[in-house]
Amino acid sequence: MLREKLGFVGAGALAAGLIRGILQAGLVPAGNIMVTNRGNGERLRRLAAETGVVPCSKAELAGAADVVFLAMKPQDLPGAVAELAGLLGPGQRVISLAAGVSLAFLEARLPGRTLLRAMPNTSCRVGASATAVALGKGAGTAEAELARCLFAAVGRVVLVPEEQMDAVTGLSGSGPAYVYLLTEALTAAGVGQGLDAAVARALAVQTVWGAGKMLVETGEAPEILRRQVTSPGGTTMAGVGALEEGGFQRLVDEAVRRAAVRSRELGVGV
C-alpha cells in the first residue's frame, strides 16, 4: 500500500475509472483520495458515495495531497492551474491527464513542482487501459515507479519521451473508439448478410474481445496471428483482401494522424 495521499481535480469518467482501479488494487485507502470537481456536484457526490473518497475544495486538496491529478479537458486546464498555482506547495507531484497540454506549459505556471504527463484511455473503467507516461523536469526514477504503480492498477503502462505523446493520443488515447467503430461495422455487416441484430452484435463483440485476448495471452505478433487464421484461398483471405483493396491501412494511418494533429492543436489552444 502506498503512503501518498492522492488528489483528483476533476471527477469525470477518466478520473472515476482510475480511482476505482487504484482502490480495487488496494494501493491506498479511500480516505486517502481527495476529489474536487467544478462542474458537476452531483457527479462528485455519487462518486464519493460509491467509493468512499473524500470530496473537498481545491484549497483543501492542494494542502493535503502528495500527488495531484489534473483530470480535466484541455480547455479547462488553464483556469484550474491558475487557481492551484498559489495553493500547491513546492515539491508536490502533479500528473496531468489533459490531452495535448505540454509539460512546458505546466512548468511555466507551476514552477518548483514535480510534473508528469499521462495519457490513459477510457478502458481504465475495466482495468484494461493503455497508458503512456512522460516525465517532466524534476521527475526521476521514484516518480516513474510511482506512475507505473498507479497506472498499472488500470492496465498496461509505458514510459515515452514527451514528444511522442501526441502520437500516443492518436493511437491509444483515441484507439478504443476505432475498435468500437469496427465492432459497429461488423455488426451492421452481419445484419446485412441476414443475421438477427442481437446475434450479429453478440458475435461481433465476442470476436473483438477474443482477438484482443489472443494478442495479450499468446504474446504473438498480430501479423503472425493474422496469417495463422488466413488460409490461402479461404474465406478469411477473401475478407482481408477486401479490406486491403479498400485502403484499410491507409484509413487507420489517417485516423491516428488526424487525432495526433488535433492533440497538438488542443495544446496550442490552451
pLDDT digits (tens, 9 = 90+) for 46-56: 999 999 999 99
Q: Say how many C-beta atoms besides its own lie within 10 A of residue 203's C-beta.
A: 14
The whole-chain average pLDDT of the chain stands at: 94
At residue 137 the predicted structure's pLDDT band, cuts being 50, 70 and 90, is confident
Q: Among 32-46, 95-109, 238-252, which is the least confidently predicted range?
A: 32-46
pLDDT (tens digit per residue) in 193-237: 999 999 999 999 999 999 999 999 999 999 999 999 999 999 999
Among 165, 183, 204, residue at a domain's last position: 165
User: How many domains does one find in the chain?
Assistant: 2
Residues 202 and 113 in one domain: no
Shared domain check, 199 and 123: no
User: If 0-12 CB within 10 Å is exposed, 13-18 middle and 19+ buried, where does residue 63 land?
Assistant: middle
Residues 88 and 180 in one domain: no
- Percent of all residues in the chain with a pLDDT value above 70, rounded to a whole number: 99
> What is the per-residue pLDDT for 95?
97
**Which sign, positive or negative, has the C-alpha torsion 51, 177, 150, 220?**
positive
Task: Give tens-digit pLDDT for 165-203.
Answer: 999 999 999 999 999 999 999 999 999 999 999 999 999
Q: By residue range, what is the domain housing residue 231?
A: 175-267
Contacts of 236 (CB under 8 A, 6+ apart): 229, 230
Q: What are phi and psi of 119, to 5 degrees?
A: -130, 90
One domain, residues 185 and 259: yes
11 plus 114 within the same structural domain: yes
Domain containing residue 15: CATH number: 3.40.50.720
pLDDT one-digit tens code per residue, 76-95: 999 999 999 999 988 789 99
At residue 268 the predicted structure's pLDDT band, cuts being 50, 70 and 90, is confident
Q: pLDDT tens, 31-67?
A: 999 999 987 688 899 999 999 999 999 999 999 999 9
Same domain, 188 and 124: no
| 86 and 142 within one domain | yes
Does residue 52 sit in helix, strand or coil?
Answer: coil
- Domain shared by 146 and 112, yes or no: yes
In this structure, the answer to whether residues 209 and 143 fall within a common structural domain is no
- How much is the pTM? 0.92
Same domain, 156 and 226: no
**221 falls within a domain:** yes
Q: Are 7 and 70 in contact (CB under 8 A)?
A: no
CATH assignment at residue 239:
1.10.3730.10
Task: Kindly state whether residue 236 falls inside one of the protein's structural domains.
Answer: yes
Q: Both 204 and 179 in a single domain?
A: yes
Q: Is residue 87 part of a domain?
A: yes
- Residue 170 belongs to some domain of the structure: no
Whether residues 88 and 190 fall in one domain:
no
- Give the model's pLDDT for residue 125: 87
